């Protein structure tokens, strides 16, 4: 396992060195082959694109909807993980809510939606939940990715830290935000498997909203999350 991890680290160092060049290359060539040894306990990644359907989530001043950004990043992340041989489940693959009842109110449908997301995450002990969201705050100066983790498993904090390091090392060198334990977030408070919410950026910040409007930046964000997941699998799974 140590030898395998050394090979993995070498791949990461190479990626770190060339990321600035690969942003103009074909994205299909950027996944990393993962050995069978590294996947012997083969987790299944549950990829959750936050919001959807009538629930648009946050909105930027330039008209960017959180639900659309979330889904785009998740679709890219799923593609990378599948190319590396991992099992994945997408909670949604299009612009829909995942509620299963026909509640009369928006609140009833939202409750059904979040219950279903939790149930999917908890469907197998080998699952790992990655929920993608965008932040929004009343003050526009705040920016930067932040990762929140479930308090229910020790591995959730490790998973969050792997993703944080990947993002800050590769595309957000000035980001000093630390990972935070979830408090009062139903999804993270009720899952029983390693789980994180990645708030990729602030739609309330015009600079970050412009970045998140760019397809290549969203691809790079997905790629950083992907590399963080690979590091977690090699180190802890």
Distances (CA, A) of 102 to 18, 53, 120, 168: 49, 14, 19, 42
Residue 115 pLDDT > 80? yes
- Structure confidence by residue, pLDDT tens digits, 199-209: 999 999 999 99
- Structure confidence by residue, pLDDT tens digits, 77-89: 999 999 999 999 9
Residue 30 binned pLDDT confidence (cut-offs 50, 70, 90): low
Residue 60 pLDDT > 90? yes
Query: What pLDDT shows up at residue 88?
Result: 98
Q: Which domains does the chain have, with CATH numbers?
A: 2-236 (3.40.630.40)
Query: What pLDDT shows up at residue 40?
Result: 61
Q: Are 86 and 41 in contact (CB under 8 A)?
A: no
Question: In whole angstroms, what is the distance from residue 190 CA to residue 10 CA?
Answer: 37
């Amino acid at each position: 396992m140590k030898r395998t991890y050394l090979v993995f680290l070498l791949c990461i160092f190479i990626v770190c060195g060339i990321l600035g060049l690969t942003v103009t290359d074909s994205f299909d060539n950027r996944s990393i082959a993962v050995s069978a040894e590294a996947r012997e306990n083969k987790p299944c990644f549950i990829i959750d694109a936050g919001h959807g359907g009538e629930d648009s989530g946050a909105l930027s001043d330039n008209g960017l909807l959180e639900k659309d950004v979330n889904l785009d990043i998740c679709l890219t992340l799923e593609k990378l993980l599948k190319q590396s041989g991992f099992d994945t489940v997408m909670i949604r693959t299009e612009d829909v809510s995942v509620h299963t009842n026909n509640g009369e109110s928006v609140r009833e449908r939202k409750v059904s939606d979040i219950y279903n997301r939790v149930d999917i995450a908890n469907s197998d002990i080998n699952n790992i939940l990655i929920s993608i969201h965008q932040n929004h705050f009343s003050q526009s100066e705040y920016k930067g990715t932040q990762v929140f983790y479930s308090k229910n498993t020790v591995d959730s904090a490790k998973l969050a830290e792997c993703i944080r390091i990947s993002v800050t090392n590769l595309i957000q060198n000035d980001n000093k935000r630390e990972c935070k334990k979830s408090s009062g977030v139903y999804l993270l408070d009720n899952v029983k498997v390693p789980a994180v919410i990645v708030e990729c950026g602030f739609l309330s910040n015009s600079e970050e909203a412009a970045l998140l409007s760019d397809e290549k930046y969203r691809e790079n964000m997905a790629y950083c999350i992907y590399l963080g997941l690979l590091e977690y699998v090699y180190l802890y799974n």
